[in-house]
Amino acid sequence: MSFHRRRQQHVCSHPENGPGDRHSSKVTVTVDPTAGGEANRPVSGANARAVFELRNVTVAYDEVPAIERVSLRIEEGEKVVLIGPSGAGKSTLLRHLYELSGEQGALIHQDYSLIPQLSVFHNVYAGRLDQHTAWRNFRTLLRPDSRDMHTVQPIIEALDLQDKTHERVQALSGGQQQRVAVGRAVYRDGQILLGDEPVSAIDPHQAGRVLELIKGSAATVVLAMHDVQLALEHFSRVVALRDGQITFDLPAAQVDRNMLSHLYRAEG
């Protein structure tokens, strides 16, 4: 199943649950597929199945566009990274993709969205809360089931948190908490994994390993990242945004220093 918006003008307004002062903003999504402009196509070919296909999508907060007339096609199996300066629209685009992904998607939130009073194990386990009965979830809260320990523990170990399994998240460092948030999304085991700055608080020698874990945990992966060098090293396709619009969409090998300088140039 691919995710499309086909109506000439589809507008929805709801409270945004994103970070910062947009918690209570009215969000409006407008789609105008008749306005021209093809969704950017990756190099995999016309026969690949589209997971996302946006055509001239605008997302506004209190009527101020955060992304404007964005067209983008992402195919099954792609590993895509979004780059661009702060305020470029990366988080907004990522959240829109997450809303389209439905039950197939998992999201690594920029603010982690963990339950601080619960352990590392329980926070990772929360990735599948909706896949279990209420009774099983309650029982696991009191005493983890051996079946769940068997499936959760390898993820905790892959994130080098095995000595923190039963510690409360509130006692962890910021980088450790971010790894727990990654573990929860990985444990979700969805077909699509999206992440908003998922390694920003993780030290460099671990960040690459965490990115590889993320990439291997879902068929299609889309991340927003501020570390451009790390992004280019680990992703094959780079989508760059500035001022709410896509400025280039290229294989990582084709992105050069001049493009990046122009993308991150300071406003005069």
**What pLDDT shows up at residue 51?**
96
Tell me if 179 sits within 8 A of 210, measured CB to CB.
yes
The pLDDT, as a whole number, for residue 204 is 85
DSSP secondary-structure letter at 182?
A: H
CB atoms within 10 A of CB 129: 14
So what's the pLDDT on residue 42?
Answer: 52
Q: What is the pLDDT of residue 33?
A: 62
pTM above 0.95, yes or no: no
pLDDT for res 2? 45
Low-confidence ranges of the chain (pLDDT < 50): 1-21, 43, 268
Residue matched to tokens 């963990």: 114
Q: Please give the single-letter amino acid code of residue 192.
A: I
Write down the pLDDT at residue 39: 58
Q: Is 3.30.420.40 the CATH classification of the domain at 77-263?
A: no
- For residue 240, which of 105, 98, 93, 99 has the smallest C-alpha distance? 93
Q: What is the pLDDT of residue 97?
A: 98
The pair of structure tokens assigned to 72 is 């983008």
Q: Rounded to an integer, what distance in angstroms lies between the CA atom of residue 117 and that of residue 252?
A: 41
Nearest to 160 by CA among 210, 197, 215, 124: 210
pLDDT for 30: 74
> Can you count the helices (H) and strands (E) in the chain?
8, 11
